[in-house]
């Protein structure tokens, strides 16, 4: 049996999206900036995708800009907002994705002051500290909606209210790469000025993402070219990827509540099944205020990499952390930030689900995790 439980890293594309990519590449291959029929045909595909995606978050189509993925969306939002502002102060959190943290480090080297908010054991920030840190020269607050390692959900609505009350000129950016398609929200419910998205996290293709930019939000481009997308993100558009991204957005939001309820049920079944079979296990994903598709667990007296490859031999695919930092040495900075014991961090595994997972797959995973953890511990005691 093959069980794919690494959906926070990437997802299998919907069959319809894969077929659409091939069709557009072969038949609707015109440059959307060209004035002839093939160009107009490609331009219509982009327009349709904008409308499809915008509808799912209750935004206007003209507020959507397509990018190469979540990383570019984060970079464009953060650097672009700071370039357009006179302020030199930025607030973020200690458990952001590297696409945000590394961008902030880049800006620090160029004279910006960055304050990173600590998080609780549940991976949630204290909103009152946002109010204390907010300054007149705060150009930007950037916050991950759902953490990619432990699934904690940040109170973005409360942050937005503080900004509007204390300093409306501060731009509020949300990284919603792990939130979109997993928890219900709209642009108005978040109160954000900019929101980042990624196609391959929602069963769309890799190499395409989106950035929502609220009308009248000041944003400077970070790349320059032929003027496409109102000069905010120039360059010939990835028409096949964009078309498939729009379709993936539509499909993942169809029967949304049923899909997310199923993911949550399977996640809880996996958690409870493992906890019922094994001792010395810590659940790092908070019991409340967490996304339905992520389960992070630490197994005492087990190295995560050993367990990962043991499960792989049985056709089960999981992660020892986030894919973006899997090649880096040292303990997870997210688990460190929530105060996890280093010995337990070394044995942490992230299971991340999709709408395609089944009860049979979860029960098989419970059996195999239990079997391998016991086997690894027995070998270590020799």
User: Among the options 17, 82, 252, 324, which is catalytic?
Assistant: 324
* Residue spans per domain, the chain: 3-11+256-380, 15-252
The confidence score (pLDDT) of residue 328 equals: 59
Residue 209 is predicted with a pLDDT of 98
Q: What token pair was written down for 309?
A: 């490859």
Q: Do 177 and 170 touch, CB atoms closer than 8 A?
A: no
| 324 pLDDT more than 80 | no
Q: Show Cβ contacts of residue 240 under 8 Å, excluding neighbours closer than 6 positions.
A: 20, 21, 22, 24, 25, 205
Strands (DSSP E) contained in 118-180 are: 138-144, 171-175
Question: What pLDDT, on a 0 to 100 scale, did the predictor assign at position 140?
Answer: 98
- Predicted pLDDT at 327: 56
Give residue-wise pLDDT tens across range 104-140: 999 999 999 999 999 999 999 999 999 999 999 999 9
In what helix (H) or strand (E) does residue 115 lie, and over which residues does it extend? strand 113-117
Q: Tell me the pTM.
A: 0.96
- DSSP secondary structure letters along 44-58: HHHHHHHHHHHHHHT
**Residue 380: predicted pLDDT:** 76
Predicted local confidence at residue 329, as pLDDT? 66
Give 51's pLDDT tier (boundaries 50, 70, 90). very high
pLDDT digits (tens, 9 = 90+) for 256-299: 999 999 999 999 999 999 999 999 999 999 999 999 999 999 99
* Contact residues for 234 (Cβ-Cβ < 8 A; gap 6+): 221, 223, 224, 225, 226, 227, 228
SS3 call for 313: helix
Tokens 């909606």 sit on residue: 145
Q: How much is the pLDDT for 256?
A: 98
Given this model, what pLDDT does residue 373 score? Answer: 98
Contacts of residue 252, defined as CB under 8 A and 6 or more positions apart, other chains included, come to 181, 202, 203, 259, 355
Q: Is residue 321 over pLDDT 80?
A: no
Q: In this structure, which CATH number among 3.30.505.10, 3.40.190.10, 3.90.1150.10, 2.40.110.10 belongs to the domain 3-11+256-380?
A: 3.90.1150.10
Q: What is the pLDDT of residues 330-371, one digit of tens each?
A: 799 999 999 999 889 999 999 999 999 999 999 999 999 999
What's the average model confidence in pLDDT over 2-21? 98
Q: How many CA atoms lie within 13 A of 29 on its CB side?
A: 5
As given in the structure block, the two tokens for residue 56 are 């799912």
Write down the CATH number for the domain with range 15-252. Answer: 3.40.640.10
Give the model confidence (pLDDT) of 367-376 as tens digits: 999 999 999 9
CA 258 to mean position of chain CA atoms: 21
| 212 strand-pairing partners | 64, 195
Neighbours of 18 (CB within 10 A): 15
Distance between CA atoms of 254 and 79, rounded to whole angstroms? Answer: 34
The reported pLDDT for the residue numbered 379 is 85
Respond yes or no: is residue 17 known to be catalytic.
Answer: no
Identical topology for domains 3-11+256-380 and 15-252 = no
pLDDT tens for each residue of 168-208: 999 999 999 999 999 999 999 999 999 999 999 999 999 99
Q: In what order do the strands lie in the sheet with 194-198?
A: 64-67, 209-213, 194-198, 171-175, 138-144, 89-93, 113-117
């Amino acid at each position: 049996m093959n069980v794919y439980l690494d959906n926070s890293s990437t997802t299998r594309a919907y069959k319809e999206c894969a077929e659409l990519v091939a069709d557009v590449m072969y038949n609707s291959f015109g440059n959307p900036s060209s004035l002839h029929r093939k160009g107009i045909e490609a331009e219509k595909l982009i327009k349709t995708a904008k409308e499809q995606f915008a509808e799912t978050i209750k935004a206007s189509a003209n507020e959507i800009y397509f990018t190469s993925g979540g990383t570019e969306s984060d970079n464009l939002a953060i650097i672009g907002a700071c370039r357009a502002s006179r302020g030199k102060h930025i607030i973020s959190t200690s458990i952001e994705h590297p696409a945000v943290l590394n961008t902030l480090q880049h800006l620090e080297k160029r004279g910006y002051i960055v304050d990173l908010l600590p998080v609780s054991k549940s991976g949630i920030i204290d909103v009152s500290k946002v109010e204390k840190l907010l300054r007149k020269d705060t150009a930007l607050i950037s916050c991950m909606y759902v953490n990619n390692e432990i699934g904690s959900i940040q109170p973005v609505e409360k942050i937005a209210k503080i900004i509007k009350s204390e300093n409306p000129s501060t731009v509020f950016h949300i990284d919603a790469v792990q939130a979109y398609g997993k928890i219900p929200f709209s642009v108005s419910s978040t109160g954000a000025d900019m929101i980042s998205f990624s196609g391959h996290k929602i069963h769309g293709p890799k190499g395409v993402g989106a950035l929502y930019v609220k009308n009248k939000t000041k944003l400077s481009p970070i790349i320059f070219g032929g003027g496409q997308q109102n000069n905010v993100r120039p360059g010939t558009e990835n028409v096949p990827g964009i078309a498939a991204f729009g379709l993936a957005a539509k499909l993942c939001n169809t029967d949304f509540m049923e899909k997310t309820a199923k993911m949550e049920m399977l996640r809880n079944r996996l958690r409870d099944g493992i906890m019922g079979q094994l001792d010395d296990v810590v659940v790092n994903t908070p019991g409340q205020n967490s996304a339905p598709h992520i389960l992070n667990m630490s197994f005492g007296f087990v190295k995560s990499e050993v367990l990962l490859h043991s499960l792989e031999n049985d056709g089960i695919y999981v992660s020892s952390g986030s894919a973006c930092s899997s090649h880096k040495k040292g303990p997870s900075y997210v688990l460190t930030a929530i105060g996890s014991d280093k010995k337990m961090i070394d044995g942490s595994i992230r299971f991340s689900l999709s709408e395609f997972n089944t009860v049979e797959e979860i029960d098989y995973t419970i059996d195999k995790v239990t079997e391998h953890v016991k086997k690894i511990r027995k070998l270590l005691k020799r």
